[in-house]
Structure 1
């Protein structure tokens, strides 16, 4: 499951985030509660839209492809 999450981040999320000068780092997936922990870096770290990107974009994408994912949380 972790490999699938990382592959989705690398192929679908990272290129889009990189276009805006940012990056996304996978920290861990907690299977018990279904939470994926990520860090936004670069231009995305201080961007006011990063929370929306995280919740509306990345969380919805991961939930769609990996039903075990319940939420995405930012790690500082």
Structure 2
């Protein structure tokens, strides 16, 4: 923690916000998620920051949707999230519905949903407009850094 960081206290919980991120967190609220698919602490940030995924040459985007999704994952998405120890894998595609699995550091990461929705999904939809839906089939509870573990549900 740096002296310039902002510390927000919520009961016994101290939330440290790096000074460089304070402006991006203005108006954000910390709450317990009521969504059973993403339980745990959630930050509702009206500033809606997008993950930093730079533009790359997406390669040849002709052919079946699945091939084009794999090309975008290989050339644009995975090189970016690899810096955080993560990866996204195409599991399948049917009638424009793309099934992705997050792995490595992304599996179980509390930011995985934001990375998928605001980063990966945005990139895939821009590159491949025929995509109807993107479904995350990752088992986040058994990840390297799970934000929720079933054994913790009954600990209190």
TM-score, normalisation: structure 2 = 0.45
> Alignment partner for residue 55 of structure 1, among 114, 117, 120?
117
1:37 corresponds to which residue? 99
Q: Larger RCO: Structure 1 or Structure 2 (Cα < 8 Å, ≥ 6 residues apart)?
A: 1
**Structure 1 gaps, min length 5:** none
Q: Which residue of 2 aligns with 1:22?
A: 86
Work out whether 1:67 is the aligned partner of 2:129: yes
C-alpha contact 1:35 1:73 (8 A) present in aligned 2: yes
Contiguous gaps of at least 5 residues in structure 2? 1-64, 139-156
Hey, which bits of structure 1, 4+ residues long, moved more than 3 A?
Answer: none
> SS at the partner of 2:82?
helix
Higher helix share: 1
Figure out how many residues of one structure are paired with residues of the other and give that number: 74
- The whole-number CA distance in structure 2 between the counterparts of 1:8 and 1:53 is 15
1:58 touches 1:72 (CA, 8 Å); kept in 2?
no
- 2:68 is aligned to 4
Instruction: Using the TM superposition, give the Cα deviation of residue 37 of structure 1 relative to its aligned residue in structure 2, in angstroms.
Output: 0.6
